[in-house]
Amino acid sequence: MNQDELVSKVQEEILATEKKILNLQNLTKPISPSDAIGRVSRMDAINNKSVNENSLRQAKVKLSNLKRVLENVGTPDFGVCIKCKNEIPLGRILIRPQSLLCVNCAR
C-alpha cells in the first residue's frame, strides 16, 4: 500500500468517525422528564444514554488521533510509536489507522 492509499484510508475513517459522532450526539441528548415513558423505560433510556456518552468520548479520541496521523503523513513521525519511537507495523496502521502506539506500548 502506498502513501496515497493510506491517506485515502485515513480520510475515509475520519468521515465515518465524524458521521458516528453526529449520530451519537443525537443519542446523548438529555431525556426530558416530560416524556411520557414508563419508569423502567426511563431507566433503560438513561442507561443507554450513558453507554452512548462513553462511545461518543471514544469516537472523539479516535477522530483526534486520526487527524494527528493525517498531519504526520510525509513526516519522519509518521508510523512511529509516540512512546518507544519504534516503527508501527503497516498491518497495525491498516487495521487501526488511528494508532499512535505500537502493539507492545499499547498493552
Q: Domain containing 70: what range? A: 3-75
- Flag whether 88 is in a domain: no
- Give residue 41's pLDDT: 79
- Flag whether 85 is in a domain: no
- Flag whether 54 is in a domain: yes
At position 69, the amino acid (one-letter code) is V
Beta-carbon neighbour count of residue 23 at 10 Å? 14
| Closest by Cα among 98, 88, 93 to 65 | 98
Cβ–Cβ < 8 Å for 59, 28: no
| Closest by Cα among 31, 23, 22 to 49 | 31
- Flag whether 83 is in a domain: no
- Flag whether 41 is in a domain: yes
Beta-carbon neighbour count of residue 41 at 10 Å? 12
Euclidean distance between the first and the last CA atom of the chain, given in angstroms as a whole number: 26
- Flag whether 28 is in a domain: yes
Joined together, the cell numbers standing for residue 53 give 456518552
Residues 47-104 pLDDT 10s: 888 999 999 999 999 999 999 999 998 899 888 999 999 999 988 988 899 999 999 9
Contacts of 83 (CB under 8 A, 6+ apart): 101, 102, 105
Beta-carbon neighbour count of residue 66 at 10 Å? 23
Residues 28-42 pLDDT 10s: 988 766 666 666 677
- Give residue 36's pLDDT: 60
Number of domains the chain contains:
1
- Give residue 43's pLDDT: 79
- Give residue 3's pLDDT: 79
Helix (H) or strand (E) holding 5: helix 3-27
